[in-house]
């Protein structure tokens, strides 16, 4: 293996490449490549590089390893390495999609036995992921499509700039690629990623839509368009796209994301319907939200408001009681439940809730409310039997 601590860059580079070339003959090729990469990093002479250049160098080498063996590139980030290896800064130099892939794999492996189990859509251990765009290299398009070499050049340039997070340049070069040859759908995908990264969600949706039209069996188009719909709070469209992705490839992480978006969808709908005075519909939407996540305090809050507005006081009290259990240090729950108790003329319970709210967060208006309820109680007690 490589000799840690040597200062001869050329020697270490040659040894590293030799180790990679023989890795496929080892019992565990991915682990062997990762260990070789670790030793290679340990041998770097940091005195000859600034921190920024060192980070860029490691990021470039990691990209090279990704193209050879994605699982190996992931493994090396889990190892104990020298302090000068700062993964956070290095990952910032990788493409948006590459970072998202590492994050998704981390989440998947936390719940599964990797590498025996592996997420769908990811290269299997021992296989690489094309460097140009996490498997989206323009030059990797099917050979039966005639493409302008100049257009491909612009597309590859855009892919490299995406890795460097130069989003305005990505947009410019991907646009030029498409001007020359609209059949290169990867340029829509690249430009869509750049638009997403710069919060131009409508433009991104338009590009991902065109990518999907050209590649209807590729789940990533649907997944990234969904993320843009989420940013625009169009959860219904996002759920539809994630469902489309799941229909193509069953992926536990996509399923989890879909369910999270569904919760947001029903939550937003419950709020909108409440605002429109559609109380029964709001109750139904909030109930569906709670079915998906029984610990979502906002869904109980919205349903409580809708039940109260619909005159369903006991149901509203139950909802705000659930809200209080989830957020016992939030005065709002006690204030809302206290109002309902007051409407039911259960003044003792109302005073108790308002007093608790006052203890959590002092507000002169709450004290005034308590005094008002006490007066109402006195008047009620003075009424002839």
| CATH code, domain with 255 | 1.25.40.10
End-to-end CA separation in angstroms for the chain? 96
Tell which residue, 73, 208, 83, 190, has the closest CA to residue 133: 190
* Residue where a domain terminates, one of 59, 89, 111: 111
- Please report whether residue 141 resides in a domain: no
State whether 55 and 24 are in the same domain.
yes
* Percent of the chain residues topping a pLDDT of 90: 43
- pLDDT score recorded for residue 144: 29
State whether 319 and 339 are in the same domain.
no
pLDDT average, residue stretch 326-334: 94
- Please report whether residue 132 resides in a domain: no
Residue of 205 and 26 predicted with greater confidence: 205
CA-CA distances (angstroms) from residue 74 to 62, 104, 143, 223, 260?
Answer: 9, 11, 30, 22, 26
Tell me the pLDDT tens digit for each residue of 30-75. Answer: 888 888 888 888 887 777 678 888 888 888 888 888 888 888 888 8
State whether 84 and 159 are in the same domain.
no
Average predicted confidence (pLDDT) for the chain: 84
* Residue where a domain terminates, one of 208, 229, 249: 249
- pLDDT score recorded for residue 346: 94
* Residue where a domain terminates, one of 298, 328, 358: 328
- Please report whether residue 119 resides in a domain: no
- Number of domain units in the chain: 4
Residue of 382 and 292 predicted with greater confidence: 292
- Position 141 confidence tier, pLDDT thresholds 50, 70, 90: very low
Of the ranges 38-52, 76-90, 240-254, the best mean pLDDT one:
240-254
State whether 353 and 314 are in the same domain.
no
- Position 7 confidence tier, pLDDT thresholds 50, 70, 90: very low
Residue of 165 and 20 predicted with greater confidence: 165
- Please report whether residue 104 resides in a domain: yes
Least confident of 88-92, 278-282, 325-329: 88-92
State whether 87 and 103 are in the same domain.
yes
Least confident of 75-84, 184-193, 358-367: 75-84
- Please report whether residue 99 resides in a domain: yes
Least confident of 29-38, 85-94, 228-237, 293-302: 85-94
Q: What gap in Å lies between CA 138 and CA 161, rounded to an integer?
A: 13
Q: What gap in Å lies between CA 80 and CA 69, rounded to an integer?
A: 20
- Please report whether residue 102 resides in a domain: yes
- pLDDT score recorded for residue 343: 93
State whether 270 and 183 are in the same domain.
no
State whether 13 and 107 are in the same domain.
yes
- Position 130 confidence tier, pLDDT thresholds 50, 70, 90: low
Least confident of 4-18, 54-68, 219-233: 4-18
- Concatenate the DSSP letters of all residues of 313-360 into one string: HHHHHHHHHHHHHH-TT-HHHHHHHHHHHHHTT-HHHHHHHHHHHHHH
State whether 320 and 385 are in the same domain.
no
| Helices 331-343 and 364-382, packing angle to 10 deg | 20
- pLDDT score recorded for residue 39: 86
Q: What gap in Å lies between CA 196 and CA 171, rounded to an integer?
A: 11
Full residue range of the structural domain in which residue 335 is found: 330-385
Longest dimension (CA), the chain: 102
State whether 37 and 48 are in the same domain.
yes
State whether 103 and 196 are in the same domain.
no
When computed from its CA atoms, the radius of gyration of the chain, rounded to whole angstroms, is 29
- Please report whether residue 2 resides in a domain: no
Q: What gap in Å lies between CA 208 and CA 237, rounded to an integer?
A: 13
pLDDT at 24 over 90: no
Phi, psi of 133 (to 5 degrees): -165, 50
State whether 87 and 97 are in the same domain.
yes
- pLDDT score recorded for residue 147: 47
- Position 204 confidence tier, pLDDT thresholds 50, 70, 90: very high
Q: pTM for the full model? A: 0.55
* Percent of the chain residues topping a pLDDT of 70: 90
- Please report whether residue 129 resides in a domain: no
Return the sign of the alpha-carbon dihedral for residues 203, 138, 13, 4. Answer: positive
- Position 314 confidence tier, pLDDT thresholds 50, 70, 90: very high
State whether 304 and 347 are in the same domain.
no
């Amino acid at each position: 293996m490589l000799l840690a601590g040597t200062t001869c860059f050329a020697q270490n580079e040659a040894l590293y490449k030799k180790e990679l070339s023989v890795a496929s003959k080892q019992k565990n090729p991915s682990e062997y490549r990762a260990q070789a990469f670790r030793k290679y990093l340990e041998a770097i002479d940091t005195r000859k590089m600034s921190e920024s250049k060192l980070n860029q160098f490691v990021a470039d080498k990691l990209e090279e390893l990704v193209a050879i063996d994605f699982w190996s590139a992931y493994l090396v980030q889990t190892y104990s390495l020298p302090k000068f290896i700062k993964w956070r800064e290095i990952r910032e130099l990788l493409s948006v999609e590459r970072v998202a892939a590492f994050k998704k794999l981390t989440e998947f492996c936390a719940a599964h036995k990797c590498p025996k189990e592996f997420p769908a859509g990811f290269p299997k251990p021992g296989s690489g992921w094309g460097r140009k765009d996490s498997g989206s290299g323009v030059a990797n398009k099917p050979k039966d499509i005639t493409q302008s070499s100049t257009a491909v050049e612009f597309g590859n340039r855009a892919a490299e700039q995406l890795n460097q997070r130069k989003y305005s340049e990505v947009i410019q070069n991907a646009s030029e690629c498409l001007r020359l040859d609209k059949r290169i759908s990867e340029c829509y995908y690249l430009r869509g990623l750049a638009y997403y990264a710069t919060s131009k969600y409508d433009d991104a949706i338009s590009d991902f839509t065109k990518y999907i039209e050209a590649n209807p069996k590729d789940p990533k188009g649907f997944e990234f368009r969904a993320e843009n719909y989420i940013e625009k709070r169009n959860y219904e469209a996002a759920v539809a796209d994630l469902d489309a992705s799941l229909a193509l490839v069953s992926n536990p992480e996509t399923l989890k994301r879909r369910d999270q978006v569904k919760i947001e969808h029903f939550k937003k709908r419950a709020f909108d319907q409440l605002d429109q005075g559609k109380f029964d519909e709001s109750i139904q939407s909030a109930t569906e939200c709670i079915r998906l996540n029984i610990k979502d305090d906002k869904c109980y809050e919205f349903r409580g408001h809708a039940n109260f507005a619909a005159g369903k006081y006991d149901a509203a009290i139950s909802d705000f009681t659930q809200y209080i259990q989830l957020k016992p240090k939030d005065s709002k729950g006690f204030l809302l439940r206290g109002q309902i108790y007051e409407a039911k003329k259960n003044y003792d319970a109302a005073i108790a809730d308002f007093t608790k709210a006052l203890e959590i967060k002092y507000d002169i208006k709450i004290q005034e409310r308590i005094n008002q309820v006490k007066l109402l109680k006195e008047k009620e007690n003075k009424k002839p039997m």
